[in-house]
Each structure stands twice: as C-alpha cells, then as structure tokens.
Amino acid sequence: MIFGIIGGGSWATALAKILTNKKHSINWWIRDASVIRHINERHHNPRYLNSVEFDVSFLSMSTDVREVVVKSDILVIAVPSAYVESSLHGLTADDWKNKKIISAIKGLLPDKNILLNYYLQKEFNVSLENYFAILGPCHAEEVAAEKLSYLTLSGIDITMASEIASHFITEYTNTIINHDILGVQYAAVLKNIYALGAGIAHGLDYGDNFLSVYIANAADEMAGFLKKFGVEHITVGEHEGEDPVTHRKTPNYAASVYLGDLLVTCYSLYSRNRTFGSMIGKGYSVKAAQLEMNMVAEGYNAAKCIYTINQSVGASIPIAETVYKILWENVNPSNGFKRIEQVLV
C-alpha cells in the first residue's frame, strides 16, 4: 500500500510521523512550497509540530495535489473542512478510481453542511465502501511527544479497515476498529462544538464542578442527536458480543471515539476548540480569536452546520444551539450560559 497525505497542518504532520515511523514512504501534498523546502532542508515542519524530525528519504512532497493522488493507493485527507473544496479543486473522478480514502477531518463542509464522504461521492463518484475515517481521542501534540494514544479506524468494510489500521500501530499508538462510519463522524463534529462551549465556560470563570455537569449533559445531548439521526448501539453498558479476533467488546456510545473524544477535547489544553472558546468567554470577538490562534477551530463552522441540519433532524440540542447563537448571532456569552445553566440536569 502506498499512502498519500493531503494537508500540511498539525494532524497531517502527526499522521505523516506515524506512517514514516512504520517505514512507509509517503506522498505528501503541502500547499506552500516554502514549507516543503524547509522540511527537505531541516527535516521538520516549520509551522506545526516542529519537534517531529523526519527522515526525508521516506517523503515525496509536492504542491501538486493530482500528483499525490495519482501516485497513491490510499489517500489521507487532513485539511480543515472549510478548505476541502479548494484543496481538491481540479481533480476528476478518474483521479480517484480504485483509491481508498481516509478522512482525518473532524468537521462538515461549511457551505454544504455535509460530511466529506457525501462530497466525494457527489463530486468524484467515491463509494462509501472505499471510504474510511481516522479519529481520536488523539491530539497531534501527544503523537509528536510519543505519548500513548488510541486511534479509531472506521469503515463499513471491516476487513479493509483492519488492514489499514495495522499501518497506524506503533509503540505510541494503538488502533480500534469501528463500522459506524457516519455516526463517528457526526460525533466528531458535535464534540468540537461542545468543546468550544467548554472553553467559553472556562473563559467565563466557571469551575470544574460546573464543567463536569456541562460535559455530562453534552454527552447525553450528543447521544440524543445521533439516535435521532439513526445511529445504533449508543446505549452505555450494552455490547453485542465481542470482536472474534481481538476479543474486545463491540463499541457502544461509551467507546473512545464517542465519549472519549468528547472528554479530551473539552478538557485538554491542546484542544484548539477549547482554546478558541476560552477566548470568546474572555471577551474576544470571533475574528480576534481567529487571528490570535492562527489555526482553524472546527467547532466554529460546525456549530452553524449542525444548527442548520437539526432543523430537519429535530433533536433536542439546547447546548449546541446556544453555542451557535453565541458565535453566529452575537448572543452575549454570559447570557448564553445562563440559559445553559437552566437546561442542565
């Protein structure tokens, strides 16, 4: 298998580290030629995770996305969701034939309110059988520091998902297989919204006691949305047997890719959504927070996307809706959280 990575940010860099540590030669699309020159000359990404040193003999980097796609069997798409269309501009359905696609995106395409798999299917005729998602809980910074992390590889083709996952197992990363390809992606979108809210609460000087109740309610709200959306096996404590190979329990809503990812994104200081939210809680405008971070917080666009989607889904998501109104309708953060206080149980 020949891997290609599309994206030059922190998560793309972390995944490139994992694959090259496994002695995979990878094709890597990075938009900025100066970054490629820097990696070739100094062996690290100058903008993200610059502690990660690469053996450049494993890297074939290019600013031409078609070159990377054509040369690769498996494509890992790891750009912010807002930049998917511009990053893949100019490609055709023929370029994607016989390719396996791994989404490393934790967001919805903001102009279309859809997951990456729907976009690829519509624009490039990529079938869901050839589509997979790699998700957390896993911060790029901890991968860089080689702290033990768990990755979930989800796809409806479990055999291929297991094969792909084997290439991401290292001394510092373990993998879990999941077949809930749509549910895990929506959970990843929602947890970013709730993490942004957790950051707002921190910025407003709420304490740990409040935050624990907030996150517990966010978890319940997420489960309700997923259930309304048709996702199965989200009942905590119930498992349908075990994996015949690993003998692990089958995943449910308490699994790491759902609840675990929510927890780490709400609590961790590495969480860009929590950081972004904290700035909002402290009085920054959205624009000022974006300029200060110089990184994309997926929860910002996701809040609007989920608010729009829920007009047809009809789930009860007062926390997510309030976060949306703070970010997009200029509701005062303090007033918004007074509303949230009233819905917590």
Is the per-residue pLDDT at 232 higher than 70? no
Average pLDDT over residues 194-213: 97
The domain in which residue 225 lies consists of: 183-343
264: CATH: 1.10.1040.10
Number of domains in the chain: 2
Residues 171 and 198 occupy one common structural domain? no
Q: Are 69 and 145 contained in the same domain?
A: yes
Between helix 181-203 and helix 333-343 the angle, nearest 10°, is: 120
**Considering the entire predicted model, what is its pTM?**
0.92
The three-point CA angle 20-48-293 to 5° equals 150
Query: Looking at 157, 179, 201, which one is the last position of a domain?
Result: 179
Helix axis angle, 272-281 to 318-328, nearest 10°? 60
User: Given this model, what pLDDT does residue 255 score?
Assistant: 78
Strand partners, 342: none
Residue 117 shares a structural domain with residue 230: no
- pLDDT, residue 235, reads 66
List the structure tokens of 301. 């666009």
pLDDT beyond 80 at 90: yes
Mean pLDDT of 273-279: 96
Same domain for 139 and 192: no
What is the structure's pLDDT at 295? 74
**Where a domain ends, among 149, 179, 209?**
179
Of 160-164, 183-187, 254-258, 297-301, the range with the lowest mean pLDDT is 254-258
Altogether, the residues listed in the chain come to a count of 345
Q: Identify whether residues 172 and 192 lie together within a single domain.
A: no
Q: Are residues 194 and 339 in the same domain?
A: yes
Phi-psi region of 285 (alpha: psi -120 to 50; beta: other; left: phi over 0): beta
How does residue 214 score in pLDDT terms, banded at 50, 70 and 90?
very high
Q: Where does a domain end: 179, 203, 222?
A: 179
Say what the pLDDT of residue 111 is. 87
What CATH number is associated with residue 66?
3.40.50.720
Q: Cα separation of 180 and 154, whole Å?
A: 6
Task: Give the pLDDT confidence of 98-116 residue by residue, as tens digits.
Answer: 999 999 998 999 989 999 9
214 and 166 within one domain: no
220 shares a domain with 161: no
Tell me, yes or no, whether 107 and 229 share the same domain: no
Query: What mean pLDDT do residues 276-280 have?
Result: 97
Residues 161 and 310 in one domain: no
How confident is the model over 247-251, as a mean pLDDT? 70
Whether 154 and 201 map to the same domain: the answer is no
85: pLDDT strictly greater than 70: yes
Predicted confidence at residue 254, as pLDDT, reads 67
259: which DSSP letter? I
- Measure the N-to-C terminal CA separation of the chain; round to a whole number of Å: 49
Q: What percent of the chain has pLDDT over 90?
A: 84
| pLDDT number for residue 51 | 95
Residues 246 and 116 placed together within one structural domain of the fold: no
Lookup result for tokens 């790029």: 140
Give the confidence band of 1 by pLDDT, cuts at 50, 70, 90. Answer: confident
Mean pLDDT of the chain: 93
